[in-house]
Amino acid sequence: MTENLWTRWPSREALGRAGISRPRRMLAWAVRLLVLALLLWGAFNQNHVGLAGGLAAAAGVLLAAAVSWAFFRTTYQHRLVPSLALMGVLLAIAVAAEATGFRGPALLLWCGCGISALERLPLAAAVPVTSVALASYSAFNNDVWLTTAATVAGMALAGYVLRLDAEARGNAQRLLAQERAARAAEAESAALAERTRIAREIHDVLAHSLSAQLVHLEAARLLIENGADRERILERVVAARGMARDGLAETRQALSALRGELTPLEQFLSELVTGADGAEVTVTGERRPLSAEASQAVRRVAQEALTNIRKHAQGAKVQLRLDYSDHEVTLNVRDSGGLPGELTGSGGGYGLLGMRERAELLGGSLDAGPDEEGFVVTLKVPV
C-alpha cells in the first residue's frame, strides 16, 4: 500500500544536508545570514523605540533564530506536534513584531514560515500553516493587491519547488545507498564464490593425490611389518613418490587456473593421455574459449575418468571425445573394459560425485555408467 501523498513527510535524506554540494551549502548559509541581518537591521532601524526597545527586538530576533533551528531539527526527526508548535511560536513572534511596529521583520518571518512549512512539513500540515503565514503577509503588506498576490504565489511556488528539489535529492541519496549496498553484497558474494572455487580446486587435487599416496604408503608399511623383500617395499615407495610428484604438478596447474593461466583445453587433454596405450582424443565442433569454471570442470572430469580407468580397467582402450555445440560443450570418456588395477578401492572423497556437483553448479550434468563393453562418462556444460 502506497503512503498518502498528503500525510507523507519528506524523507530524512531530503531534509538532511547529505548530497548538497559545497557551493549550495555556502549559498544556503549566505541566505540565512542575510535574513538574520535584515531582521536585526529592522529591529534597530526604528525611530519610535529606544535602546531598550531595540535590545528587546534583537532578543526577539535571536529567539526566532533559535526556534527556527529547533524547527529544522524536529522536522528532520519527523515529529509533527513539536514542529507545529515551533511554527506557531514563529508566527506568534511575527504577530508580536507587527503589533509593536516592527512590520519589516514581521513580514520577513511570515514569508519564511510559509516557505519552510511547504518545504519541510507533510502537505496536510504545510498547506494550512502556509495559508496562515501568507495570509498574514497579505493582510499587513502595503503593496498593491496585484503585487501582493504575485509575491504570495511566488513564495508558495518557491516553497513547493524547494520541497520537490529536496525529495529528488533524497531519492538520489537512497538510490546511491542502495547501489553501494548492492555493490558491497556483490563483492562479498564474488569473494565467497572465489573462496569456494579455491577450496574446491584444492580439495579435488589434494584429496585425490594424498589418498593415492596413503594407499601406497599403507601398503609399504604392511610389507615392512610382514618382512617382505626390499624390491616390493621400494616399488610402493616409488609409486607414492610418483603420486606426490603428480599431485604437485596438478596443484601447480590448479593455481595457474585460479590465476587464469590455463593451457588450451585440447592441448591439456592431449597431454593427459600421453603415455597411455590405446588412448585417443577427438575434438569436434567449432572451437571457442570457455569460462575458467567450465574449462576446469572438463579438465577435472577427464582426469577423474582416466584415474578410474587406471583403477578399474587396466589395459582398456580409451576414447576421449570433446564436442563443441552451439549452447554446450560435451566431454565423453569411454573405455573398452579391462582388469581391476592395484589402486582399486582407493578414494577419499574425490570422485564422480564431486564432479557431478561441480557440473550442476554450472547448470550442466554428468552421467556415468556401464555400456556394452566398458564404462562411459559424459559431461555436458553450458557455454
Distance of alpha carbon 268 from alpha carbon 277, whole angstroms: 17
Give per-residue pLDDT as tens, 336-368. Answer: 876 665 444 444 434 677 778 878 888 889 988
State the DSSP code for 314: B
Range in 124-138, 191-205, 232-246, 311-325 with the lowest mean pLDDT: 191-205
Per-residue pLDDT at 233 exceeds 80 = yes
Q: What is the mean pLDDT of residues 317-321?
A: 88
Q: Provide DSSP, 13-78.
A: HHHSSTT--HHHHHHHHHHHHHHHHHHHHHHH--TT--HHHHHHHHHHHHHHHHHHHHHHHHHHTT
Range in 59-68, 87-96, 146-155, 259-268 with the lowest mean pLDDT: 259-268
Total residues belonging to the chain: 383
8 A C-beta contact, residue 377 and residue 319: no
Distance of alpha carbon 108 from alpha carbon 104, whole angstroms: 6
Range in 10-14, 245-249, 315-319 with the lowest mean pLDDT: 245-249
Q: Which three cell numbers stand for residue 348?
A: 577419499
Per-residue pLDDT at 285 exceeds 70 = yes
More confident residue, 2 or 337: 337
Helices 145-225 & 352-361 angle (0-180, nearest 10) = 170
Per-residue pLDDT at 1 exceeds 50 = no
Q: Which three cell numbers stand for residue 103?
A: 512590520
**E strands in 246-361:** 279-284, 318-324, 328-335
Per-residue pLDDT at 298 exceeds 60 = yes
Q: What is the mean pLDDT of residues 39-43?
A: 64
Domain ranges of the chain: 12-142, 263-383
> Quick one: how many helices (H) and strands (E) in the chain?
11, 5
Per-residue pLDDT at 42 exceeds 80 = no
What confidence score (pLDDT) does residue 81 get?
A: 93
pLDDT > 70: what percent of the chain? 82
Please give the mean pLDDT across all residues of the chain.
80
More confident residue, 253 or 6: 6
> CA nearest 60: which of 99, 12, 28?
99
8 A C-beta contact, residue 380 and residue 326: no
Q: pLDDT-derived band of residue 277, with 50, 70 and 90 as boundaries?
A: low
> CA nearest 311: which of 236, 231, 203, 212?
212
Pairing assessment for the beta strands 328-335 and 375-382 based on DSSP bridges: antiparallel
- The residues facing 314 across adjacent strands are 339
Q: Which three cell numbers stand for residue 245?
A: 610428484
Q: What is the mean pLDDT of residues 248-255?
A: 70
User: Which homologous superfamily does the CATH classification assign to the domain defined by 263-383?
Assistant: Histidine kinase-like ATPase, C-terminal domain (3.30.565.10)
